[in-house]
């Protein structure tokens, strides 16, 4: 796949604790590359799985200004990863991301800049900013469900 942009999405495993059937949710996972010139930017991913953002066999991709966080206990903490199955990952840029960890070892040419460990406060701030931006563009209530897009906090 080539020239795909994933921008400005909110992906949340759940907003409420104590659900009857709480399962794991992956974030942005594009596993079967090569993925050429993907842009993944300004996303807020709150999941209870390793894959916050994962691009497999990425080539010339740009992963920037995303926030990946989990507040749930357990070993799975979302990362930003450039992975591979066919040893094709190369020439990617990963900058300005907040995550529990980064795994960029599949790309020996990767340019990694200003990526930091995420805190809950940083995640909540990014979530509130993006939710406000989405509400401004599309309205506070979903037009079909006639419900708020996110629960009020």
Task: Enter the DSSP assignment of 75.
Answer: S
pLDDT at residue 43, as a whole number: 98
Q: What is the pLDDT of residue 18?
A: 76
Q: Is the pTM of this model over 0.95?
A: no
Number of Cβ within a 10 Å radius of residue 15: 10
Q: Is the dihedral of CA 91, 95, 100, 101 positive or negative?
A: positive
What pLDDT sits at residue 59?
Answer: 98
pLDDT given at position 153 = 56
CA distance 25 to 110: 27
Cα 122 from Cα 141, distance rounded (Å) = 25
Q: Tens-of-pLDDT digits for all 153 residues of the chain?
A: 999 999 999 999 887 777 777 788 899 999 988 999 999 999 999 998 989 999 999 999 999 999 999 987 677 899 999 999 999 999 999 999 999 999 999 999 999 999 999 999 999 999 999 999 999 999 889 889 898 888 765
CA distance 141 to 124: 20
């Amino acid at each position: 796949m080539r020239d795909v942009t994933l921008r400005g999405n909110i992906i949340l495993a759940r907003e409420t604790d104590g659900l009857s059937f709480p399962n794991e949710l992956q974030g942005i996972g594009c596993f079967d590359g090569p993925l050429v010139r993907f842009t993944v930017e300004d996303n807020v991913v709150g999941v209870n799985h390793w894959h916050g953002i994962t691009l497999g066999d990425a080539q010339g991709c740009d992963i920037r200004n995303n926030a990946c966080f989990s507040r749930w206990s357990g070993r799975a903490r979302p990362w930003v990863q450039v992975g591979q199955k066919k040893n094709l990952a190369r020439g990617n840029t990963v900058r300005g991301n907040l995550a529990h960890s980064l795994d960029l070892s599949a790309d020996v040419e990767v340019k990694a800049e200003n990526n930091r460990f995420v805190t809950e406060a940083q995640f909540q701030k990014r979530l509130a900013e993006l939710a406000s931006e989405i509400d401004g563009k599309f309205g506070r209530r979903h037009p079909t469900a006639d419900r708020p897009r996110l629960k009020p906090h």
